Amino acid sequence: MSLLKIEKLCVSIGHASILKSISLQLNAGEIVGLAGESGSGKSMTAMAVLGLLPPKANMSGTVKLENAILSGASENDLCAIRGRDIGIIFQEPMTALNPVMTIGDQIAETVRIHRKVSRTEARTIAREMLDRVGLRAPQFGLGRYPHNLSGGQRQRVAIAIALALKPKLIIADEPTTALDVTTQAEILDLLNRLVREDGAAMILVTHDLAVVAQVADRVVVMKHGEIVDEGSVDHVFRNSNNPYTVKLIKNTDHQPERAEQGGRSGKPVLQVEQLVREYAGRRKLLKPDPPFRAVDNVSFEICPHENVGLVGESGCGKSTLLRTILGLDAPQAGEVRVFGESFPARNLAKTKELRRKIQVVFQDPFGSFDPRWRVEKIIAENFHLYDRAISSKQERMRIEAMLEQVGLNGRDADRFPHEFSGGQRQRIAIARALITEPSVIALDEAVSALDVTVRAKVLDLLADLSDRLGVAYLFVTHDLTVVRSITDRVMVMKAGKIVEEGDTEAVFSNPQHPYTIDLLNAAPNLNRALERRKAIGHPTEVSQ
């Protein structure tokens, strides 16, 4: 008998239909990956199982866990089931834990709500659970607070809470998306091992097909609130004939076509020389903490038409380096040069001239525009870098031409940024950067927030623009797939220093520094995950 049975589940909010007749079965001990792009309804499906839909949502259909019908059950009944029969792990380990409660109390609390045990017994269980997730005493005592744990450690605590009562079903909503690649690999392994040990079933909601391939037995692909493809992981990822699935798989490591590279030639457009950026330590009464070196003596240069990647995990200093290069932060030592000239220059006119040569595209397609400005004004902001004002008619013509260059419509200039999708907004951001005809564009995680299909298109656009306009890129990112697909050269950054640098293919195929090796091994990769499955023979392949 199946553990969880979802039949004809429909969810709508207002007039918008979010889920359209979802039917899904889950056997005991089975791990199902629920994959799809943003807006596909994958998280909504998980929330519907838990009865945690937003207050305005309308739901029909049945959700059955063993013999209990969850759909339409009272909040009290659902509370008894959540935590005891269904464990939940969310994406953000930062917000999923209560910051003013010790980790021991948070685990013990879950135990005591559902089971009549004494305080001491609950604490014993909490201790056991922390040991199981690899947070051992005495370093990780029950009295620790979430704020002095790292993101990965917090996610381990969240897993401990979810598994404390040995639930039959675990629902994990993007459990590793917010984590760095090396941490992500550890957490996935841990989650997989513990769920298998307990013989629990799991619904793993994720946008990352590589994560599904690493962990799940079966995969369900969703699109626009419908299930479009379903089957065992090996079958779907190798032989699916569903066009959408095929497109998704192809786009995960999309390789944009680029013109033949003539090697590094010409005078460098951007030179960074022994750059140091420090943050002052905490001011204490007698002895201040030593300053923190976010960027430690970094040097490199970028030649015309060259694509350079800068990779590293969060906190390695790559964003600070970028801000310093852009002249948004002042360095403590070292120099940035644009076309051989010191940047920012001493006089304002020169600085403006150099700024036209180095532009930037930021990560967040939602935050990088003033919400009150129209697209025309947003792009025109960069005309501020020209001393002589251009006539507004000319300005408008250039903006429309630029919008067409990045694959939008000239008339889009009159619209507001919120009227566009994430991918379109990134195109607007690229148009804004290109309007001053720069020689180098820095891209700060510019495609990280995008879905794979959209990301593939934006990467194609970037490659095309680079070929046509000869602009060089500096890709600052944690995403190794992107770096591999579009850069000529890559720099690996760790703790403020560049630890390895070389041609992208050489670094990827033959990494030298131990950190680079770790990074490459940990990075989620669909093909490698499938290879590994084949090699070890996946443990519980449930037949359909």
CB of 9 to other proteins, least distance (A): 20
366 touches other proteins (CB under 8 A)? yes
Among 205-213, 219-227, 363-371, 399-407, the segment contacting other proteins (CB under 8 A): 363-371
10 Å CB burial of residue 91 (0-12, 13-18, 19+) is: buried
127 touches other proteins (CB under 8 A)? no
User: What is the rounded end-to-end Cα distance, in angstroms, of the chain?
Assistant: 13
208 or 451, CB closer to other proteins?
Answer: 451
91 or 183, CB closer to other proteins?
Answer: 91
CB of 537 to other proteins, least distance (A): 40
Contacts 24+ apart (CB under 8 A), 498-502: 498/298, 498/299, 498/300, 501/300
Count the site residues for other proteins by CB under 8 A: 34
Instruction: Measure the CA angle with vertex 9, ends 8 and 15; round to 5°.
Output: 120
91 touches other proteins (CB under 8 A)? no
382 touches other proteins (CB under 8 A)? yes
355 touches other proteins (CB under 8 A)? yes
3-state secondary structure 422-484: HHHHHHHHHHHHHCCCCCEEEEECCCCCCCHHHHHHHHHHHHHHHHHHCCEEEEEECCHHHHH
Q: Considering only residues 283, 284, 287, 372, which one is a binding residue for other proteins as defined by CB under 8 A?
A: 372
The residue type found at 329 is D
503 touches other proteins (CB under 8 A)? no
Locus of tokens 């490459």: 520
Closest among 172, 154, 169, 131 to 33, alpha carbons compared: 172
363 or 485, CB closer to other proteins?
Answer: 363
Distance CA 74, CA 103 (A): 30
327 or 410, CB closer to other proteins?
Answer: 327
The residue type found at 203 is I
CB of 478 to other proteins, least distance (A): 17
309 or 365, CB closer to other proteins?
Answer: 365
β partners of residue 88: 171
What part of residues 8-37 is at the interface with other proteins (CB under 8 A)? 16
CB 82 within 8 A of CB 39: no
Q: In what order do the strands lie in the sheet with 226-232?
A: 86-89, 169-173, 201-206, 31-36, 218-223, 226-232
223 touches other proteins (CB under 8 A)? no
10 Å CB burial of residue 262 (0-12, 13-18, 19+) is: exposed
218 touches other proteins (CB under 8 A)? no
Instruction: Measure the CA angle with vertex 122, ends 121 and 124; round to 5°.
Output: 65
283 touches other proteins (CB under 8 A)? no
CB of 388 to other proteins, least distance (A): 14
CB of 365 to other proteins, least distance (A): 10
Among 61-69, 77-85, 145-153, 376-384, the segment contacting other proteins (CB under 8 A): 376-384
Per-residue contact string for residues 299-338; x = within reach of other proteins by CB under 8 A: ------------------------x--xxx----------
Q: Considering only residues 99, 143, 262, 371, which one is a binding residue for other proteins as defined by CB under 8 A?
A: 371
Per-residue contact string for residues 423-452; x = within reach of other proteins by CB under 8 A: ------x--x--------------------
Kindly provide the b/e burial profile for residues 158-193, where b requires at least 16 CB atoms within 10 angstroms of the residue's own CB. Answer: bbbbbbbbebbbbbbbbbbebbbbbbbbbbbebbbe
CB of 13 to other proteins, least distance (A): 9
179 or 360, CB closer to other proteins?
Answer: 360
Q: Considering only residues 146, 151, 309, 422, which one is a binding residue for other proteins as defined by CB under 8 A?
A: 422
94 or 328, CB closer to other proteins?
Answer: 328
CB 504 within 8 A of CB 488: yes
Q: Considering only residues 153, 251, 271, 351, which one is a binding residue for other proteins as defined by CB under 8 A?
A: 351
Per-residue contact string for residues 130-159; x = within reach of other proteins by CB under 8 A: ------------------------------
The residue type found at 472 is A
Q: Considering only residues 359, 405, 439, 504, which one is a binding residue for other proteins as defined by CB under 8 A?
A: 359
Distance CA 371, CA 425 (A): 12
Locus of tokens 């790559």: 318
364 touches other proteins (CB under 8 A)? yes
Which parts of 70-196 are beta strand (E)? 86-89, 169-173
339 touches other proteins (CB under 8 A)? no
314 or 540, CB closer to other proteins?
Answer: 314
352 touches other proteins (CB under 8 A)? yes
Distance CA 216, CA 181 (A): 19
CB of 441 to other proteins, least distance (A): 11
DSSP readout, 330-363? --SEEEEEETTEEES-SSHHHHHHHHHHEEEE-S
What tokens were used for 328?
A: 């948004």
Q: Considering only residues 421, 448, 453, 512, which one is a binding residue for other proteins as defined by CB under 8 A?
A: 421
165 or 360, CB closer to other proteins?
Answer: 360
CB 179 within 8 A of CB 196: no
Q: Considering only residues 384, 468, 532, 534, which one is a binding residue for other proteins as defined by CB under 8 A?
A: 384
457 touches other proteins (CB under 8 A)? no
182 touches other proteins (CB under 8 A)? no
Contacting residues toward other proteins, per CB under 8 A: 16, 38-39, 323, 326-328, 348, 351-352, 355, 359-360, 362-364, 366-372, 381-382, 384-385, 416, 418-419, 421-422, 429, 432
